[in-house]
Amino acid sequence: MRGYEEPVRNSAPVAPEDSALADELRSTLKGKPTRSGFNRSWVRELISFISDIIKIGIVLALCAVFAFGGFGAGMLLGYVSTTRPLSLSDLTQTEEVQTSFVYDIDGNEIARLTGNESVDRIYVPITAVKDTYIDEAIISIEDERYYEHSGIDMRRIGSAVLSAVANGGTATYGGSTITQQTVKLISGQDQHSTSRKVQEWFAAMALEQELSKDEIMELYLNLAPMGNNYVGVQAAAQNYFGKNASELNLAECAFLAGLPKSPSYYNPLRESGRRNALRRMRIVLGKMNELGYITEEEYQDALNTELVFVNKTTSSATQINSYFAEYAVRTVVNDLATKRGISVSLATTIVYNRGYHIFTTMEPMVQSVVDEAFMNRDLFQKDPSILADYPEKPTGGMVVMNVQSGAICAIQGGFGRKPGNLVLDRGTDAYRSTGSSIKPLIDYAPAIELQNIVPSTYVYDGEVHYDPNDPNRAWPLNSDRSYAGWMTIRTAVEKSKNTIAVMTWDQWVGGDNALWFLAQMGIDKMEEGAYPAQAVGAFTTGITPLQMCGAYNTLASGGIYTEPYAYTQVLDSSGNVVLQSNPKSQRVFSTETCFLMSDMLEGVIKNGTAAGHAFIINNDAGEYIGTAGKTGTTDDNLDKWFCGYTPYYCAAVWYGYDNRLRQTVIPSCDRNNAIDIWYYVMSRIHGSCPSIGFPKPDTIVRLDVCLVSGRAPTEQCYAEGHVISEYFVDGSPLTPNGSLPCQMHVPAPPPEEVEG
């Protein structure tokens, strides 16, 4: 930090051979290369060189147009006219960092967001660091004519272009000013194109018209990437040196000023990165001395200053925000960035430092039960002794939604106590194979909607060959590696028959249709293309519990998909509305399809693969509440799922191992844990809910049907035991019609009389 007296500036130029850069090069460059840094043919090198020269020519031409007008002005005007104005709201309205608050659905505070609790970004006003050398250090290494230009530096641009020409198309340094870099940090736009560069120039000049040099520098100081997810000089100062930015000495300022150029290459937390950063620090100091920002004595003192790094990687704050709070804040940040056309980094800084009030959809009673379940070891480890030598312990993720609103009620991202902020949330970000839990969404509900099957459709469970790469191999196999012969679709759903699921996908839905239905429910896999394994949950990229919960909520809500949302509105410190939730909704299935599907999935719990672990939900009075669900297992038992719902809540659970060190097969005693977790939560959050079943549309009728023919039964059908009672959609082509009785079971004609 500077003293009270302003040091004498020495602006005398330093000879190139005596500069810090020359010293650095002499100390690090020895000998000659022993091999080529890359190996490309001379033809490719020539093409690359010509391409770079063409690009440089375009930039030069645009430079000339921009500076002097004339030819090309039309193209330039087109680029400029499409430049999106920078959104500067909240950026310079106050120097005071204000705490932001997060609330549950009842208005109770669930999190506070301050600089100290968000260790990766802490806003600091320019006035707090003006007595340090941080701004001079940054100007020296990034933009020595910062106070002279109006946003773009034509000399620097021209010099960079000439440097590129002289070095085969690659400039030894960039032409961007600090203002231009700030524009990129604000907008998040960093595509390498001529049009973007021109738009960046225009935005930089506009920014200079709107803000002072100090205000622009303040933005840069708070938005510059400093490595290890730290953004801004305050976060970097605290986490690298254990002090505030206002307390930085000259050497520390020079060190931090060099990081934004390549935060990973100059990463202070790695030994090689720290060495690289220290070399760059000496270059920064030499440039500061050359430009007269520091005296020769200060320069030498700084070179001899030993930097003391701290092992501290978190701030002094101990608050760990919940998975729900973090997800809600993340969606607010993304929505704010989209609405204002700013970078996610800038949006994050605003949300954490400008006194926002975020009102979420978290239902505290539901969240508390979910938290309780994920702290219950008995639900995750039936026999802990067999896991003693495992490299990791089992974990899971869960999301609960309100069926009627489509709002997220609760999120859990892992077993046990949350270890810190910004850790993996397995409820929203763990992409895992779903196994059979995908079948209602991609196979059966679409086939019913297309009026190609009904619950009574009679199908044969036997060997099939759907593997396109090996048509002679029996695939898919059922989980028990056996076949059960003829059965209804209802039974196939309850017993989770893989053969019937793939048959339904292939014969009655079609791969492209299946992916279309899935995309309508928030799971877009269209780019993968259709292949049979998708019918049983084998996608190239997995699916999260949040996505599965949102898709199942489509069935629970009567066929309307609502994009899951975690907040209702965001207010600024003055009470003005910053963001208002407006979730997208669309109809995917008819109410009839949803009733038939829900009724079959209720059978999964009563008679099928979930029986004995999940049960029909009752309220505190012991009254029935409609309950539907589906299990899911991958072939290798690496993933276990249970997704289900009532008319009130929908929930999806994934259970398994992170598999960071090796793939871990779930022990047999733990293979029903996903169901157990789901039922533990759902059975406890419906206590005060009135008794209700799944709403049955007036168009749903219950009729007798001949199993074999699917038509109205005859007396012979009854006599031979081929009749069941099942639900149908009135008027559907698959609904039994008395005028078209079964033709397969008719009484045998009476024998002819023999004359005596």
* pLDDT tens track for 34-82: 333 334 456 655 665 665 565 556 555 555 555 555 444 444 444 444 4
Tell whether the model's pLDDT for residue 446 goes beyond 80: yes
Q: What share of the chain is helix, strand, coil (3-state, %, to 5)?
A: 40, 15, 45
How would residue 439 be classed by pLDDT, with cut points 50, 70 and 90? Answer: very high
For the chain, give the percent of residues with pLDDT over 90. Answer: 68
Cα–Cα distance measured from residue 445 to residue 186, given in angstroms and rounded to the nearest whole number: 45
Tell whether the model's pLDDT for residue 414 goes beyond 70: yes
Residue 721 lies in a domain: yes
Tell whether the model's pLDDT for residue 658 goes beyond 90: yes
Give the lowest-confidence range in 346-350, 465-469, 502-506: 346-350
The CATH number that applies at residue 190 is 1.10.3810.10
Tell whether the model's pLDDT for residue 366 goes beyond 50: yes
Q: What is the DSSP letter of 668?
A: G
Residue 313 lies in a domain: no
Residue 75 lies in a domain: yes
Which pLDDT value is given to residue 214? 93
Tokens at 241, concatenated: 């040196």
Residue 337 lies in a domain: no
Strand-pairing partners, residue 225, are 231
pLDDT digits (tens, 9 = 90+) for 594-606: 999 999 999 999 9
Tell whether the model's pLDDT for residue 7 goes beyond 50: no
The average pLDDT across 678-694 equals 98
Among 17-26, 308-317, 680-689, 734-743, top mean pLDDT goes to 680-689
Tell whether the model's pLDDT for residue 32 goes beyond 60: no
The pTM (predicted TM-score) of the whole model is: 0.80
Which pLDDT value is given to residue 172? 43
Q: How does the average pLDDT of the chain come out, rounded?
A: 86
Cα–Cα distance measured from residue 409 to residue 398, given in angstroms and rounded to the nearest whole number: 11
For the chain, give the percent of residues with pLDDT over 70. Answer: 80
Tell whether the model's pLDDT for residue 559 goes beyond 90: yes
Tell whether the model's pLDDT for residue 362 goes beyond 80: yes
The average pLDDT across 529-541 equals 97
Looking at 272, 303, 334, the residue that finishes a domain is 303
Tell whether the model's pLDDT for residue 476 goes beyond 60: yes
Residue 338 lies in a domain: no
CA distances from 57 to 45, 62, 165 (A): 18, 9, 10
CA angle 620, 623, 628 (to 5 degrees): 105
Q: Which residues, 6+ apart, have CB-to-CB distance to 552 below 8 Å? A: 440, 441, 643, 644, 645, 650, 652
Looking at 255, 271, 303, the residue that finishes a domain is 303
Counting the structural domains of the chain, the total is 2
Residue 570 lies in a domain: no
Which pLDDT value is given to residue 9? 36
Burial, 698: exposed, middle or buried (Cβ in 10 Å; 0-12, 13-18, 19+)?
exposed
Which pLDDT value is given to residue 6? 38
pLDDT digits (tens, 9 = 90+) for 183-239: 888 877 665 555 566 677 778 888 888 889 999 999 999 989 998 878 899 989 999
* Residue 538: CA count within 13 A, CB half-sphere: 12
Strand pairing class (408-412; 395-402): antiparallel
534, 320 contact by CB (below 8 A) = no
Residue 251 lies in a domain: yes
Looking at 303, 337, 355, the residue that finishes a domain is 303
Give the lowest-confidence range in 42-46, 568-572, 658-662: 42-46
The average pLDDT across 729-742 equals 92
Give the lowest-confidence range in 9-18, 63-72, 667-676, 727-736: 9-18
Backbone angles phi, psi at 359, to 5 degrees: -100, 115
Residue 158 lies in a domain: yes
Which pLDDT value is given to residue 352? 87
Tell whether the model's pLDDT for residue 686 goes beyond 70: yes
Tell whether the model's pLDDT for residue 253 goes beyond 90: yes
Q: What is the DSSP letter of 269?
A: T
Q: Which residues, 6+ apart, have CB-to-CB distance to 143 below 8 Å? A: 153, 156, 177, 178, 179
The average pLDDT across 350-356 equals 88
Range of the domain at 738: 698-756
If residue 629 lies in a helix (H) or strand (E), which one and from where to where? strand 628-633
More confident residue, 114 or 369: 369
Which residue, 430, 398, 483, 438, is CA-closest to 634? Answer: 438
CA distances from 635 to 476, 640, 665 (A): 10, 10, 10
The average pLDDT across 416-436 equals 95
Which pLDDT value is given to residue 206? 84
